[in-house]
Amino acid sequence: MFSEVLEKHRGLFDEDKFAFFGVTGDPRDEAQQTLQASLPGIRFFYDSDLAIARLYGAAPLDVPEQGGQIPVHCRWFVLDPTMRILKMIPFRPDGQDRRDLIDYMQSLPPVARFAGIELQAPVIYLPGIFEPELCQELIGLYRTTGGVDSGFMRDVDGKTVEVRDYGRKSRRDYIITEEPVLKELNTRIIRRIVPEIKKVHQFTVSRIERHIVACYSAEDKGHFAAHRDDTTKGTAHRRFAVTINLNHEFEGGELSFPEYGPRSFKPPPGGAVVFSCSLLHRVSQVTKGERFAFLPFLYDEAARKVREANMKYLATAGE
């Protein structure tokens, strides 16, 4: 079933308009690793415990007694960028399901107008958070001391650990420790960002996590694939992410929110994009120059308690 659609219509799955996610519950497929991703646009999930099938109603929620046969209904699902189901098509022996699937896909509007209009991601866009002089000071700190490779967090064996995958993320960070600079940064966040979050989201920020200058460079193919910032035990307390660009002499490196269409954001130096850490977002590859940005997370006192409770899950150096 998979192969016929993929072979005849490979060009549809370009990851700009469509991506294909195949799900198989056959344990033999997992054991033999018979289904492999073909990027861009084609990925597979091995679902031998039928967890995915149950979520989509393709298998019953109740597991039969040991040795019982679990019925699985093979289906196509077409999802919109917000992961909501647009159409479900059951497999048919005569192959009509594949024709119906392709016809339906080809009838859909461009991704930018999947909702009937071009959507605006629910972000706060704020120019003038940092003055030009402060932007240059932060870039100077990075250039003087250099940055270190930056990973991303994953829960592994009950611990939240930092992992590195340069195909998923390529960036170097400098951790700011200079007290006078930290005071300047915090003052501007408190005066110029916190009130906007209160006004828009009825949320009172009282805590800041990390003060870093990040550099995405064309030389390193700097980018960050689509991700969320609060999906591990060690990051579950994060409520809002802030991106403040420090320069403009670069190409690519734009921030976008795939669940709301392809529109991307490139604030001017000192300008910020503020958004919920639960939003899916990505940074496109820098193709020329270097993009410098200041990237803190914000949270409140309730989230502080979450962070303290989850500290035990953070892996320490050497673990």
Per-domain residue ranges of the chain: 2-108, 124-313
Segment 35-94, tens digit of pLDDT = 989 988 999 999 988 999 999 999 888 766 555 678 889 999 999 998 899 999 999 999
Question: 23 pLDDT exceeds 50?
Answer: yes
pLDDT on residue 60: 87
Segment 116-160, tens digit of pLDDT = 988 899 999 999 999 999 999 999 999 998 899 999 999 999 999
pLDDT on residue 1: 64
**CA–CA distances in Å: residue 3 to residues 9, 27, 99, 180:** 10, 18, 14, 60
Segment 202-214, tens digit of pLDDT = 999 999 999 999 9
Distance CA 311, CA 309 (A): 6
pLDDT on residue 3: 80
Distance CA 295, CA 234 (A): 17
Q: Do domains 2-108 and 124-313 have the same CATH topology?
A: no
Mean pLDDT of all residues in the chain? 93
Domain 2-108 has CATH 3.40.30: yes
Average pLDDT (266-283) is 98
| pLDDT > 70: percent of the chain | 97
pLDDT on residue 316: 66
Average pLDDT (251-280) is 96
Of 123, 127, 72, 71, nearest in space to 256 by CA: 123
In sign, the C-alpha dihedral spanning 94, 96, 97, 99 is positive
pLDDT on residue 318: 45
DSSP letter for each residue of 183-195: HHHHHHHHHHTHH
pTM of the model: 0.86
For 79, list phi and psi in degrees, rounded to 5: -110, 150
With a CB cutoff of 8 Å and minimum separation 6, the contacts of 71 are 59, 60
The position carrying tokens 């001391």 is 145
124-313: CATH class: mainly beta
Distance CA 265, CA 267 (A): 6
